[in-house]
């Protein structure tokens, strides 16, 4: 079974410890729209492995001197790049499939043309030997 990286697993204190930040920092990041943790039916936050990775990326960017506004822009651009990469992969797959289909159609056409021009030798009358 494949692990779901987006499933909320960690309560706020565990997530804060994993990301090496204070729990209040997680609340701030959520208010700023940098994180959107899952919520339980009782409205408690649950952070996923993907959230922890994002938290670490936020920390990395802020330690490099970016403001939270700058971090937001960088994360938006990174998300867009990831989406575009996924789109390119999907388009490459479509191109490969179209190429495979075209090759198959070309082979089918060549067979039909060859059969219409020259019947198979099994259907040709044999020359009588003298």
Structure confidence by residue, pLDDT tens digits, 42-100: 999 999 999 999 999 999 999 999 999 999 999 999 999 999 999 999 999 999 999 99
**Three-state DSSP string of 75-101:** HHHHHHHHHHHHHHHHHHHHHHHHHHH
What letter would DSSP give residue 129? P
Which secondary structure element, helix H or strand E, spans residue 46, and what is its range?
Answer: strand 45-46
Q: Where are the domains of the chain?
A: 1-65, 67-119
Top-level class of domain 1-65: mainly alpha
**From CA 88, how far away is CA 53, in angstroms rounded?**
24
Predicted TM-score (pTM) of the model is 0.68
The pLDDT, as a whole number, for residue 33 is 93
The pLDDT, as a whole number, for residue 130 is 56
């Amino acid at each position: 079974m494949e692990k779901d990286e987006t499933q909320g697993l960690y309560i706020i204190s565990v997530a804060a410890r994993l990301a090496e930040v204070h729990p209040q920092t997680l609340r701030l990041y959520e208010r700023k729209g940098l994180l959107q943790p899952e919520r339980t039916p009782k409205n408690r936050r649950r952070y996923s492995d993907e959230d922890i990775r994002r938290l670490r990326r936020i920390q990395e960017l802020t330690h490099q001197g970016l403001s939270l506004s700058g971090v937001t822009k960088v994360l938006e651009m990174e998300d867009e790049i990831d989406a575009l990469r996924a789109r390119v992969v999907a388009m490459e797959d479509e191109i490969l499939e179209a190429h495979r289909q075209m090759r198959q159609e070309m082979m089918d056409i060549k067979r039909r043309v060859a059969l219409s021009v020259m019947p198979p030798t099994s259907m040709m009358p044999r020359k009588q030997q003298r």
